[in-house]
A = this chain, B = another copy of it.
Amino acid sequence: MKRMDRRPTIIDVANTAGVSKSTVSLVLQNSPLVREETRALIRDAMAALGYVYNRSAANLRSANAGLIGLVINDLRNPFFTEFATSLQMALSVRGYATIIANTDEHPRVQATVVGAMIEHGVSAFIISPAYSDTNAAFEATAPFEAIKRAGIPTMQVLRKVDPRTDIFPFAGPDYAAGGRIATGHMLATGAQRVAFVGGLDGRPITQERMAGYLAALAAVDKTPFVVTGRATRSFGHETALRLTKEHPDVDAVLCFNDQVALGMLSGFAVAGRRVGPDVRVVGFDGIEECAEAFPTLSSVDCGITTFGQAIAATVLSWLENQTAPPPETRTPVELIIRDSSGR
């Protein structure tokens, strides 16, 4: 085994194997043009030298870095963590690395990280975009403009922020159906007054999840009762306390997401109301923790792990076979009924 101070290149491999560097390059790309015998020879030489493929060099010539950019609005929320993780692992299996960034809902941070990823030559983007504040609309769309200019295949997932789904196809769970099913379930088990809690007012996701809720109530001629707010545990906790005091007639709650629902679980516990028998609670997202909460939490399961894997497949097929995904894909959701909704 030869030793060298610098990293060996395909030229070193070619020399030890006694072929030209073109042949080595072909082997690297699994080209069928090279005889099996030669291929083995080259593989041996690579192993002996400790050769490592240099993707920067390859990318410079052929512009396919094998790098995917993943931009997430809130990576600390388990829903997005589960998505990011399943996506990253699926990409890894297919030989793609993931460059990731959390934007924490800041359009400005989003613009920065997207710019950095373009510099790194990512082959595609998968973005769960930050919403723009009313006066930051420019910042929110700037990254999409930059991506468009660079001509990089890009999917919007989970949230649709840029309306141009012909260029930036969207895929997400069928939130409206989830809201409808969950509300219907609580009504069917005898709920008289169903509230909708959490989710910032006016945002598309809030509207979609709420739309299903409103439709289900309208179908049975009941009046909606909506408390919008941040999608956090603390907001859920506080709202549970407030509802107990000010609106004791509310006997069922559809939460904007599981975080809010988990907060309500602890809020109602403090307030002395039993979740399940006294008040029904249903979450939204279907994070793993639902099954381990007390009481166990009913939730609209978006199948996020499967969703992440599906997105990986869709993007790679776009990249490798030029089959662009449809402008909009909605994946089915499923209500998982547990103790919190009075099973």
Q: Are B81's CB and A76's CB within 8 A?
A: yes
Q: A149 to B294, alpha carbons, bound, how many Å?
A: 50
A230 → B minimal CB distance (Å): 13
Contact B89 A81 (CB under 8 A): no
When A7-B150, A60-B56, A150-B7 are in contact, do A117 and B97 touch as well, CB less than 8 Å? yes
The reply to whether the CB of A306 lies closer than 8 angstroms to some CB of chain B is no
Q: Is B55 within 8 A of A120, CB to CB?
A: yes
User: Which residues from B are CB-within-8-Å of A82?
Assistant: 76
Known: A7-B150, A65-B56, A121-B55. A99 touches B99 (CB 8 A): yes
Q: Which residues of B contact A98 (CB under 8 A)?
A: 99-101
The one of B97, B233, B267, B294 in contact with A120, judged by C-beta atoms closer than 8 angstroms, is B97
CB closest residue in chain B, given A265: B294
- Do residues B149 and A50 form an inter-chain contact, with CB atoms below 8 A? yes
Number of interface residues of A (CB under 8 A): 58
Please state if A116 and B92 are interface contacts (CB–CB under 8 Å): yes
Asked if A22 is at the interface (CB within 8 A of a chain B CB), the reply is: no
In the assembled complex, the Cα of A288 lies from the Cα of B56 at a distance in Å of: 39
Q: Known interface pairs A99-B99, A289-B233. Does A118 touch B52 (Cβ–Cβ under 8 Å)?
A: yes
Q: Which 7 A-B pairs have the closest CB atoms?
A: A266-B294, A233-B292, A56-B59, A56-B56, A269-B294, A100-B100, A53-B119
A237 to B273, CA, bound (A): 22
- What distance in Å separates the Cβ of A279 from its nearest Cβ neighbour in chain B? 15
Contacts of A40 in B (CB 8 A): none
Does A16 make an interface contact (CB < 8 A)? no
CB neighbours (8 Å) of A47 from chain B are none
Q: Which positions in A face B, CB cutoff 8 Å?
A: 7, 50, 52-57, 59-60, 65-67, 75-76, 78, 81-82, 84-85, 88-89, 92, 95, 97-102, 104, 109, 112-113, 115-121, 149-150, 233-234, 237, 262-263, 265-267, 269-270, 288-289, 292-294
Copy total for this chain: 2
Interface residue from B104, B119, B292 paired with A234 (Cβ < 8 Å):
B292
CA A99 to CA B70, docked complex, whole Å = 10
Question: How far, in whole Å, are A97 and B89 apart by their CA atoms in the complex?
Answer: 19
CB contact under 8 A between A102 and B120, given known A263-B292, A294-B265: no
Complex-state Cα separation, A88 to B112, whole angstroms: 13
Do B78 and A76 touch across chains, with their CB atoms under 8 A apart? yes
Docked complex Cα distance between A30 and B56 (Å): 23
Residues of chain B within 8 A (CB-CB) of A233 are 289, 292
- A97 near B97: Cβ-Cβ < 8 Å: no
How far in angstroms is the closest Cβ of chain B from A296?
9
**Chain B contacts for A84, CB-based, 8 A:** 75
Ordered by A's residue number, 8 sampled pairs between the chains whose C-beta atoms are within 8 Å are A50-B149, A52-B119, A54-B60, A76-B82, A76-B85, A78-B78, A92-B113, A98-B99
For residue A52, which residues in chain B have a CB less than 8 angstroms away from its CB?
A: 115, 118-119, 150
